[in-house]
Amino acid sequence: MSAPRKLFIKTYGCQMNVYDSERMAEALAPRGYVQTDSADDADMIVLNTCHIREKAAEKVYSELGRFRALKDANPDLKIGVAGCVAQAEGEEIMRRQPLVDLVVGPQSYHRLPALEAKARAGRKALDTDFPEEDKFGDLPARPKARRAPSAFLTVQEGCDKFCAFCVVPYTRGAEMSRPAARVLSEARDLVERGVREITLLGQNVNAYHGHPGGLAGLIRELAAIDGLARIRFTTSHPNDMDDALIAAHGEVEKLMPYLHLPVQSGSDRVLKAMNRKHSAESYVRLIERIRAARPDILLSGDFIVGFPGETEADFQQTLALVEAVEYGQCYSFKYSPRPGTPAAERAHVDEAVKDDRLQRLQALLKRQQRAVQDRMVGRTVSVLFEKPGREAGQMVGKSDHLHSVFVDAPQVAVGDLRAVRITASAPNSLAGTLV
Ligand code: SAH
Ligand code: SF4
Ligand code: F3S
């Protein structure tokens, strides 16, 4: 057999892209590719891209430009663009950047081997369809190699919500759920390969309907898998947070006490303009119900500041909502107009005003995050160890609440789950000792 070809995949954007990059590498393996972590010696480069904000999308073009020298040095090098920019701007990418040989949208990864063969034959290959068939059903079975203790598993994809700012419904297509039997068999397989924690992924993962009991039903079946210690899921929409899922948080021990539940704004006027279909008050009430089921749950969220029409009074309501909820972790962004979305057509908030609001919001979120973290000191938590730390004998893992925890523990191995007493809190991590 000829020497394997080398595949370099660079992943941008959300966790789903991380999962997709794994599956793309697996799809290309039968075509003779092994992964490399450097673009320099690659025979194929794939950028798995994100279109969520302008900056993310623009990065792709500047990155592509830098591959010219590599292609001059290796005429056999093929360059591909996958992910959400590929879906949104497929033909434009081909026009703007002649270096690109292959463009593949997120729903067509099962067609990657055929596209690669076409590109190898010297033709431009583009596929941004939303095929009828389920790509997961057509992707090759996953390899049996040993894995890291924590893994992602996509169970749901796409979105029918059409928030006025968001490209995801256009780039990922309509909501679809993978059948529970497939998810469960993939999960069992991951566990056999050393995985102890699975994070279920979906753009609206709590709208999952591949199990008659919804996401809660799926979680309860996953919890019965021996050797699987932890279950998480992300990202959820407030309107799909049903009673069964709330109850699962109180009852399923393996379901971790962490919930990412974006609200975007604390102003009803802005929420309406965003087409979020919930109010600030209904969100706060929902949080109360979740906390009643699982009092120690750590909440995480996403916020957009400077959405078209947002006034200072609206922004003050966002700050008030943050104060009311008390988040342990948050992501916040300046509104970025996206082509083809309804909000892009509206009058925009001044950039300087957006900057100022983002700074004020982030200062508050940072204070909250630190306060929540500081309260962990003195408590005993379980930690899933993921890798050695920088110092000799040090190991790093994640707590139930997803805090990074540093422990001096040379006797601990990657994949061990141990009780740790938290002794100190630093800006973005905790330190502790084995109990
Ligand atoms: N499906 C998830 C999140 C998808 S995108 C959900 O509904 O919550 C992740 C985050 O990016 C969003 O929650 C939002 O806060 C942010 N985002 C999406 N579009 C944006 C835009 N046009 N400008 C700024 N931030 C945006
Ligand atoms: Fe985007 Fe809204 Fe769908 Fe989330 S729910 S992916 S923010 S359209
Ligand atoms: Fe980005 Fe697409 Fe994920 S736009 S955030 S990569 S769904």
pLDDT in tens, 21-44: 999 999 999 999 999 999 999 999
Residues 192 and 301 occupy one common structural domain: yes
Give the number of the atom of ligand 1 that is nearest the alpha carbon of residue 163.
7
CATH number at residue 398: 2.40.50.140
Whether residues 236 and 164 fall in one domain: yes
Kind of pairing between the strands at 44-49 and 78-82: parallel
Give the predicted TM-score (pTM) of the model.
0.96
Quote the percentage of the chain above a pLDDT of 70. 100
Same-domain status, 191 and 123? no
If pLDDT is split at 50, 70 and 90, which confidence band does 58 have? confident
Q: Are 297 and 257 in contact, with CB atoms under 8 Å apart?
A: yes
Residue nearest to atom 14 of ligand 1 (CA): 302
- One domain, residues 194 and 60: no
Both 115 and 153 in a single domain? no
pLDDT computed for residue 280 by the predictor = 98
Q: What is the pLDDT of residues 359-404, one digit of tens each?
A: 999 999 999 999 999 999 999 999 999 999 999 999 999 999 999 9
pLDDT at 138 (0 to 100)? 85
* Domains of the chain: total: 3
Tell me: do 189 and 206 sit in the same domain: yes
Query: Hey, which of 50, 154, 166 would you mutate to test ligand 1's pocket, going by the most ligand atoms within 8 Å of its Cβ?
Result: 166
Burial of 93 (0-12, 13-18, 19+ CB in 10 A): buried
- 3 — pLDDT class (breaks 50, 70, 90): confident
Same-domain status, 115 and 255: no
Residues 148 and 48 both lie in one domain: no
Q: Which of 127, 151, 166 is the last residue of a domain?
A: 127
What is the CB neighbour count within 10 angstroms for residue 259?
A: 25
CA atoms of 352 and 355, how far apart (whole Å): 5
Are 294 and 257 in the same domain? yes
Both 142 and 120 in one domain: the answer is no
Residue 332, CA atoms < 13 Å, CB-side half-sphere: 25
For the stretch 59-96, pLDDT in tens is: 899 999 999 999 999 999 999 999 999 999 999 999 99
Give the residue from 328, 354, 374 where a domain finishes.
374
Task: Assign residue 87 the CATH number of its domain.
Answer: 3.40.50.12160
User: Which ligand sits closest to the CA of 53?
Assistant: 1
Q: Please tell me the predicted confidence (pLDDT) of residue 1.
A: 52
Residue 423: give the domain boundaries.
380-434
Q: Give the separation between CA 112 and CA 135, rounded to whole angstroms.
A: 10
How far apart are alpha carbons 300 and 263 in whole angstroms?
A: 10
**CA of residue 204 to ligand 2 center, whole Å:** 7
Ligand 2 touching residue 163 (CB < 6 A): yes
Q: Which of 64, 96, 127 is the last residue of a domain?
A: 127
- Ligand nearest the Cα of residue 84 is 3
**In terms of domains, do 11 and 62 share one?**
yes
Mark residue 326 as left, alpha or beta (left: phi above 0; alpha: psi -120 to 50; beta: remaining).
Answer: left
Residue type, 363: A
What mean pLDDT, rounded, does the chain reach? 96
Residue type, 344: A
Q: Residue 217: its pLDDT value, please?
A: 98
**SS3 labels along the chain:** CCCCEEEEEEECCCHHHHHHHHHHHHHHHHHCEEECCCCCCCCEEEEEECCCCHHHHHHHHHHHHCCHHHHHHCCCCEEEEEHHHHHHHHHHHHHHCCCCCEEECCCCHHHHHHHHHHHHCCCCEEECCCCCCCHHHHCCCCCCCCCCCEEEEECEECCCCCCCCCCHHHHCCCCEECCHHHHHHHHHHHHHCCCCEEEEECCCHHHCCCCCCHHHHHHHHHHCCCCCCEEEEECCCHHHCCHHHHHHHHHCCCECCEEECCCECCCHHHHHHCCCCCCHHHHHHHHHHHHHHCCCCEEEEEEEECCCCCCHHHHHHHHHHHHHHCCCEEEEEECCCCCCCHHHHCCCCCHHHHHHHHHHHHHHHHHHHHHHHHCCCCCEEEEEEEEECCCCCEEEEEECCCCEEEEECCCCCCCCEEEEEEEEEECCEEEEEEC
Domain CATH for 178: 3.80.30.20
Please tell me the number of the ligand nearest to residue 83's CA: 3
pLDDT at position 2 over 80: no
Distance (Å) from CA 145 to ligand 3 centroid? 27
* In the block, residue with structure tokens 């990074």: 404
Q: Per-residue confidence at 413, pLDDT binned at 50, 70, 90?
A: very high
Closest residue by CA, ligand 3 atom 3: 14
Residue 215 shares a structural domain with residue 289: yes
Residue 163 among known ligand-binding residues: yes
Per-residue pLDDT tens over the stretch 212-240 = 999 999 999 999 999 999 999 999 999 99
